[in-house]
Amino acid sequence: LAALEVIRAVAPFGDDVAGQLLLIDLLSLRFRTIRLPKDPGCPCCGGG
């Protein structure tokens, strides 16, 4: 999955996954995506 994101950065295609967390349950082989909101108090992602 990490290698695919590198390829997407070099040759953009598909959906942007910034601000999302991918959870993988290997026992049931289920994938789930959770959106992570920006923290307004964070100096990196909050713009402060």
| pLDDT tens, residue by residue, 18-36 | 788 889 999 999 999 999 8
Look at the chain and report how many structural domains it folds into.
1
Residue 26 structural domain: 2-35
Question: For residue 47, is it within any domain?
Answer: no
Residue written as tokens 């953009």?
12
Question: For residue 12, is it within any domain?
Answer: yes
Question: For residue 41, is it within any domain?
Answer: no
Number of H helices, E strands in the chain: 1, 2
Question: For residue 9, is it within any domain?
Answer: yes
Please state, in angstroms and rounded to a whole number, the distance separating the CA atoms of residues 20 and 43: 19
Question: For residue 23, is it within any domain?
Answer: yes
Question: For residue 45, is it within any domain?
Answer: no
| pLDDT tens, residue by residue, 4-17 | 777 777 776 667 67
Question: For residue 43, is it within any domain?
Answer: no
Please give the pLDDT value at position 37.
87
